[in-house]
Amino acid sequence: MITVKVVMGGANHFNEYYEKNGEVKGYWIGNACELCGVKVSEEVSEVAFEALRTNHHAVTGKQITCRHNTVRKEASGKIVSNRRSFYDCVFSSPKSFSVLGVTCGNERVRAWHDFAVRYTLKEMERWTARQDHKNPESSVEITGKFVAAWYKHDVSRASEPNLHDHIIIFNMTLSKNGRSYAIEAKTFYDRSRYFTAIYRDKLASQAIDAGCYVEYDTFGAPQICLKEKSLKSICDHFSSRAGIRTYLAKKCEKLIGSSLTNNEITMLIRHSRGLKRDIFDERFAKESFSGSRYKILKNFCDLLKNCSDGGLVQATTKEVLDAQKKSLSQEYLKLLDEVQLTIGSKIKKENECFPFLVDAFKTAVRQCLEKKSAVFDYELFEIVLRSCCGKGVHPNQLEGVLKELTESDKNELVKIGDEVTTVSYLKKKQDLIRWVSESKGFLKEPESIRNTTLANTLNAQVSKSVLETIHSGDQFKVIVGKPGIEKTFVLLEIVRIYVENNKKVFVFAPSNGARNVVRKGGEKMESIATSKPFLKSESLQMLLLKESMQQEISKGSLVILDEAGLASFEQMHAFLGMAFQKKWNVQLCGDFRQHTGTEASDALRILLCSTTIHRVRLDTPVSQVGLEAQEKRAQRSKLKEISNIQTTEAFENRQLKSQKADDCLTIPPPISPRDSLTKMRL
């Protein structure tokens, strides 16, 4: 797995972590080494590391990039780091490779890891970029050059085998115009999964070529095994950090009452390095946690930090290796010996023909375009590499096959920039635009809706928008708003008005889960007539499959699609095409930014960005009650801020009066600013 972390400042990182107080040596890599005054493959010195970290040439000491402000002062007066010093890219090998390479001391496994890292770094450096706002096609310029320090570590903070490398990419690159700029890391972050797929593919292919059996875990990582035996039990034995993570996450989630996000779990892991479990359990039982989610999480992390020592250990020594082997049972040791005997039992065979890549690409395209109308090429490459992991596919072969598929007349793939789509999807997108355009002012039924009395709970702005939606002659309309903005409340008012005017209303949702949510909402409604369409709501897939359901919906009936952001592109195209043909009055409701699950798509985004569909955007709470609640929260926040300012001013005035009283008694001797600050604190 490959992770990329930004380091701001980074002082003391050289000795304390990367060099491990001289036990580990780093080496320079990258095409921009000469720019910065270092040489490829030479040993990293502390002087050169600190020079590049602070944006200076390693030899001349001159500033490299234009931006040099290393710190800034926030409004609160706190001094914080202002510049990204470097990016710490960590290449972590799968656990079975770590156990064989570190605990068993198999140098060949280590060599596989080193080769896979070097191989992936070539592709990673190729996508080094800098910001270029003058470029009309893209906001970045691909420079293809970086300077980095390579450190090889083989033990975790828990003294367990963990073969991983730190690639310290300094924040500077050379542009085509000859000037040096800071790196635009977006290209790294966007392609991190693609880089991980390259690393795993190259690692697995070397193991397979050497005669090893390889299986893939739940995360898609290759693991060495025997033909009928797995090393999972040994991997779990050396994965104590994973157990601690699960233990802490469950405890914290129980306190908060909801699931933790990935970032919150990462925070727990960071603060629990070197955790003393017995001390933590003892203090946790005595602590009381209350307040907001943020306050509980902060107090929990503070407790973890107080019960941890950072977990830093020296580089692998004989004592650490002996302790790792001693912790293994005889059965585990025998199993590892059997695995090592399989290494080298097969002669590597070069495979220059990859006919399976074409089928893999077609499968990847179908998988991606179920949700989106277009996909980035590196997302396709990642899926192809995961499906062909262990085949040893080169990135150039991926680009070659994609080029062949997009330029051939027999295939319907189209590549525009770095995005890939199909001819059929472009045609369907044109259909959406045409249907919305031709249906403008087509419906006459809204003229017959006379009773349009709205609820008093709606604020004036939203009431006006609802009336415009109801009296609109457009066949297709959409209500857009972020989560919690009460979009369903607006739908309820629209349905009530249509029902009171004897109009048929049908409600649908893209999935069964969304449909169940709509039905539960209908159970809470007071009006039986208004709640009936919500209680009878069905999934969109059911509507598209059942002709009998389609025949029940007559011309001019109001058809609502709630949570439209969940509808796939194919579903949305089929639904709008059917509605256009049968002259249904369609009301969409949702937010395309709200959903990131597997069913989310960009169909609603395309309707909003590429068509002239009638839209109502809700930016404030719909109901007057919700608006008043929002205003009250804002007032409380303002009063709290004023109270803090008044408290600060009162404290300063009290200090000033006290100082004047002291001045009347004695004349104090001159003191330094630091002593003055200490006195004020006391």
419-422, strands of its sheet edge to edge:
375-376, 419-422, 413-416
The pLDDT of residue 236 is 82
Q: Which two tokens stand for residue 288?
A: 């009381």
pLDDT value, residue 124 = 92
Asked if 642 and 505 count as a contact pair (C-beta separation under 8 A), the reply is: no
Instruction: Write down the pLDDT at residue 313.
Output: 54
Amino acid 506: pLDDT: 92
In terms of C-beta distances under 8 Å and separation of at least 24 residues, what long-range contacts does 227-231 make, across chains too? 229/335, 229/338, 231/96, 231/99, 231/335, 231/336, 231/339
Provide the Cα torsion 545, 551, 553, 559; round to 10°. 20
Whether 454-622 and 2-187 are alike in CATH topology: the answer is no
Q: Burial-class residue 510 by CB neighbours within 10 Å (0-12, 13-18, 19+).
A: buried
> What was the pLDDT predicted at 199?
92
CATH number for 454-622 (one of 3.40.190.80, 3.40.50.300, 3.40.50.1000, 3.40.605.10): it is 3.40.50.300
If phi > 0 it is left, if psi is from -120 to 50 it is alpha, else beta; for residue 435 that is alpha
pLDDT at 660: 43
Q: Which residues of the chain have pLDDT under 50?
A: 315, 349-353, 595-600, 624-627, 630, 643-648, 650-652, 654-682
The fold for domain 2-187 equals BirA Bifunctional Protein; domain 2 (3.30.930)
Calculate ∠ Cα 405-407-409, nearest 5°. Answer: 90
Domain segments of the chain as ranges: 2-187, 240-306, 356-426, 454-622, 626-681
The reported pLDDT for the residue numbered 153 is 86
